[in-house]
Structure 1
Amino acid sequence: MDLPSTKDFHWQSLAPLPSRRVYPTLVEAGGQVFAVGGCDDNGVPVDSFEVYSPEADRWEPLPAMPTARAGVAVAVLGKRILVVGGVGAGQQPLRAVEAFSTDEGRWRKRSSLREAAMGISVTAKDHRVYAAGGMGSDLRPHNFLQHYDALKDIWVSLAAMPTPRYAATSVLRGSKIYVLGGRQSKYAVNAFEVFDTDTRSWSKFPSIPNKRAFSSFVPTEEKLFSLGGLRQGRLYRQPKFMRTVDVFDLEQGGWMKMERSCYLKKRRADFVAGYLRGRVVVAGGLGNQPTVLESAEAFHPEKNKWESLPPMPTPRCACSSIALRDCLLAVGGVSQGLSTAVEALCLSDS
């Protein structure tokens, strides 16, 4: 595979989101992008549900979710989109689980979670959805791992995750679910644990070398990248935006020693990140400057350094993002207020 050069990247402005909101969850099904829920200008969860068609460059409203919510976990099972937990009215975590059939164009209520939770991390394998962690209404992080059996419409409890947390990142590779980072209360954790769906058991892996909040995790074929973020302030320590890049080698089973030359060019947190044809890319976010960042950069794995890309047309942080057809879509987020902008960082022939 020939690596694209920085000249091959460009931004496209796409049809804007129909309604201004932050924290919608994006998912791809059948070549289309679905935007699920989110919060409006007043921080109130919404029931909005829309689909974006790349061919028509158009958003279409779909039947609203039965339960308004933000920060939901979403998984695709064939022609069904399963929406799990999240934050509902009054900023309370939810037990509700609902499924949308893309064939029938309608919602159905499914078996609820055993406890209300927001910040659940999900992965789908075969006809099952695995849901890890979360935070309940008592603000305590959960160590639950449960799977949803779509054929029986039941939740089954599995071995508890060694480190309770919410807002972790889960990556499925074969029979293994890699669960990285997350938070307990306000603070980031650097735990890294792996669940084997065959043996139904957990293994502890070496912790992420640098603990930070609002970082991004990007999986590639052989590696897991942990990028940027905010080193949080504690007693006697100021918060600090980071350029740090940590890389886990899936084949070797360990974190690689990273030279400072491999660090991001810009300190950033709360940015979009993805993987496009052999290159990890990042854009936007918050940094040391008083306004949101517009800069974008791509990692060159042979030169072991980051290279500048064209800047984001609408600089934003807190975007939702998804990779689709050699493009990284940045949807909504915060510019000077909530933004409806939808822009895609694309490779020239995509």
Structure 2
Amino acid sequence: MDVLHMAYISSTNNITKPKISLYRSDKLINDNILPIDLTNNPQIYVCGGYDGQQFYSQCYKLDILLNNWSKDSLLDHMIHSRYHLKLIQFDNKLYSIGGRQDISTNWVETYDTRNNLWAVVSPLNIKRYGLGAAVINNTIYVCGGLNTNELSIKSCEYFTRETNEWMFTNPMLTARDFHELVAHEGCLYAIGGNSNNNNQSVNTVEKYEHSSQTWEQVANMTSARSSFGAISFMGKIYVCGGRTSNTGQTVSNICEVYDSHTNKWTQISSMKESRFDLQLVTYNDKLYAVGGDKTNTIEIYDYMSDRWSHSITLPTKVGAFGVSIYKN
């Protein structure tokens, strides 16, 4: 059975009330009819990426409730094409942060979902890609990554809308790139990644206390990994996939969870596919593993049954994109 979905169509830089159209199976079937208000549905956004030859600025969005992707032509493109960026929701907007073209960048852009427009905001102090980014205490934090010299860095900086500038905070204990930065129970966790500037994946984890602005080591993961997905979900930190060998060349489907109260990691069911450069997002009681290098599939994890299942595929096979869920 065909599923209906809605899209906003607006001309470039036109912020007037959008024309609303309804289409099925990529064919326009009616104009100016809105049978149901879908504007508050949660959306998964995918932006940027690289296909081995070209850098991309396109964005796609998946309506989770309708399980349908919008056409990329209906969404404003990022101002700068790039890959290995971070895409996060903050202050009712999406932020695309850092990333790479031929070298690291410090670009930061915001996306207004209501008006379908990207805008440039204050850049990072340090150009970086393969970085970690997360939000705690109404503040965006960015840590680690590779700089313009292709060296792993420890530095961390934060952004608040009141000052519209990036400021440094205390660096991580370990230089990391292609790690993950996760906000969990009021703290930041810098997890895994590559270290020592030799493409060697690590299993170390450190925690940042916002009140004292200090880092401390916590329990190591059971597997060293980089270019993986991680997120806070159901009171724990979930980590999936990535490159896991000492040389970083073995791709994994293994998942594990961290309990901050016991300071222990425990493995759960593995994803159906091995993947790296994936991103994890959550909605309600489901965990979504989105894409990865050389795959355009999405898997959904049900924590009650400890099982993974395949969902709708991505409309693009571009890898190393940014992913974020947007909730009104």
Could you tell me which residue of structure 2 aligns to residue 186 of structure 1?
249
Query: In the alignment, what sits opposite 1:285?
Result: 316
CA deviation after TM superposition for structure 1 residue 122, in Å: 2.2
- Residue 94 of structure 1 is matched in structure 2 by 153
Show the counterpart of 1:289: none
Whether 2:226 is the aligned partner of 1:166: answer yes
The equivalent position to 1:202 in structure 2, one of 250, 258, 265, is 265
Where do 1:128-147 residues align within 5 Å?
128-136=187-195, 137-147=197-207
- Show the counterpart of 2:321: 319
Residues 119 and 319 of structure 1: CA distance in aligned 2, closer, same or farther (over 3 Å)? closer
Instruction: Give the deviation of 1:128 after TM superposition.
Output: 0.8
CA drift of 1:249 comes to 2.9
Q: Does 1:7 align with 2:4?
A: yes
Matched-pair contact (CA < 8 Å) for 2:278–2:291? yes
Partners of 1:227 and 1:24 lie apart in 2 by: 15
Letter in 2 for 1:282: T
Q: Identify the residue that residue 22 of structure 1 maps to in structure 2.
A: 83
Q: Is 1:64 the equivalent of 2:117?
A: no
Q: What residue ranges of structure 1 are gaps of 5+ in the alignment?
A: 231-240, 264-279, 287-315, 327-350
Report whether the alignment pairs 1:251 with 2:304: yes
Task: Find the aligned partners of 1:58 and 1:134 in 2 and give their Cα distance.
Answer: 33
Check the 8 A contact 1:175/1:198 in 2, yes or no.
no
Structure-1 separation of matches of 2:276 and 2:175: 24
In structure 2, the residue matched to 1:154 is 214
Equivalent residues of 2:297, 2:312 under 8 A apart: no
Which letter maps to 1:208?
A: M
Per-residue CA distance 1:14-44 (angstroms, 9 max, x = gap): 333222322321111110111111112xx20
Indicate conservation of the 8 Å contact 1:127/1:151, yes or no: no
Between 65-74 and 201-210, the greater mean CA deviation after superposition: 201-210
Tell me how many residue pairs correspond in the alignment: 260
Match of 2:98 in 1: 37
Structure 2, gaps ≥5 residues long: 6-67
Q: 1:154 and 1:51, CA in 2 relative to 1: closer, same or farther beyond 3 A?
A: same
Work out the CA distance in 1 between the residues paired with 2:94 and 2:83. Answer: 16
Could you tell me which residue of structure 2 aligns to residue 269 of structure 1?
A: none
1:47 equivalent in alignment to 2:94: no
Q: What is the identity, as a one-letter code, of the residue corresponding to 1:7?
A: L
Contact 1:50 1:60 in 2 (8 A): yes
Q: Structure 1 residues 81, 5: closer, same or farther in 2, change over 3 A?
A: farther
Q: Which residue of 2 aligns with 1:113?
A: 172
Distance 1:21 1:226, change over 3 A: closer
What is the DSSP-based 3-state SS (H/G/I as helix, E as strand, rest coil) of the residue aligned with 2:149? helix
Structure 2 letter corresponding to 1:27: I
Alpha-carbon distance in 2 for matches of 1:26, 1:215: 13
Q: How far did residue 86 of structure 1 move?
A: 1.0
Q: 1:140-159 deviations in whole A, cap 9, x for unaligned?
A: 11111111111111111101
Which residue in the other structure is 1:335 paired with?
Answer: none
1:175 aligns with 2:235: yes
Judged with a 3 Å threshold, the aligned counterparts in structure 2 of structure 1 residues 97 and 33 are, in CA distance, closer, same or farther, namely same
